[in-house]
Amino acid sequence: MHPTQVTPRARPFDPEPMAHWLVNAHAKRQPFARAPKAIRARTAQEACAVQQSFVNMKSLHCGPAVGWKIALSTPVMQRMVGLEAPVAARLHQKQMVSAPAQTVLSSYTRLIVEFEIAVRLSRDLNAQSNPHTAASVREAVGFVAPAIELADDRRAVYPEMHDKGLELLADNAWNEGVILGPEVALSQVLSCSSVLGEQDGLANLVGSVFLNGQTIGAGVGADLMGHPLQALAWLANAANHRGESLKRGQLCILGSLVSSQFPNIHDRFRFELLGFAPIELSVV
């Protein structure tokens, strides 16, 4: 009889080294890239752990995490980075400002601007026996607002992103801030249903984007995973899967209604969401 062979147990994954590597990469404005193999997250669960560590470190300068975002909400975007689902990321208190606003282009390695529907929660969305659905999260939405997200892709080479989805997830989905328009109570938004042509006006909310006075794109709420509330339900379930939950008072941005924009200096963006005051961003 041969002696039993015992395979040494692999060490549990430590997210701190990769999180520190990300902090250093941002500080040095290094191009977006895969982390060194020895510290690299290998699963979505490990990448989420890195993201949490990275967010904790970033909070020292950018304030606590006070909201959530969805990235890669379409299958096309997911396939581009080698993932099969969207990713969730956090929003920091000091990086959330009211519109109108301006940002300095040279503050970013490469700035991305996106145009989103935001919701403010009126109650917690804790884990429950059944997954959250669009119907079950509706009562948790207190306010709706237009929002512009600022992100920094650090000069990512998009044709080479096919194996970097976990790096994107770990890197807090590139978020660098949110410009928020005036918030309107959900009940008031839904009262526009006769104008929008359906019982639930959220799906048909039209958002139009203007660059330097010229129209560059438009979208509707249904572009966000079929319905903004469906996107919110996905986000709530993703947070619960991590052992967290969306909390009352938090802001959630649910995905861009038009293609991401790569601005130049002196560009001025205007985002008009039907029924809301327009919001503007100037790039200087």
* Cα torsion through 90, 93, 95, 99, rounded to 10: 110
pLDDT at residue 276 greater than cutoff 80 = yes
CATH number of the domain that 124 lies in?
3.90.850.10
| pLDDT tens, position by position, 219-230 | 999 999 999 999
Inside any domain, residue 42: no
Q: Which of 73-82, 162-171, 235-244 has the lowest mean pLDDT?
A: 73-82
As for how many domains the chain has, the answer is: 1
Q: Tell me if 279 is assigned to some domain.
A: yes
CA distance 102 to 203: 29
Q: Are 77 and 84 spatial neighbours (Cβ–Cβ below 8 Å)? A: no
Q: How far apart are CA 102 and CA 280, in angstroms?
A: 8
183-197 burial, b at 16+ Cβ within 10 Å, e below that, comes to bbebeebbebeeebe
Residues spanned by the domain of 80: 65-283
Task: Kindly report, residue by residue over 164-212, the tens digit of the pLDDT.
Answer: 999 999 999 999 999 999 999 998 887 664 444 445 679 999 999 999 9
Q: Is residue 100 part of a domain?
A: yes
- Whether residue 36 is contained in a domain is answered as no
Residue 128 located in a structural domain: yes
Strands (E), the chain: 65-71, 87-92, 96-98, 101-103, 111-121, 141-152, 175-180, 184-185, 206-211, 214-220, 251-256, 268-273, 279-283
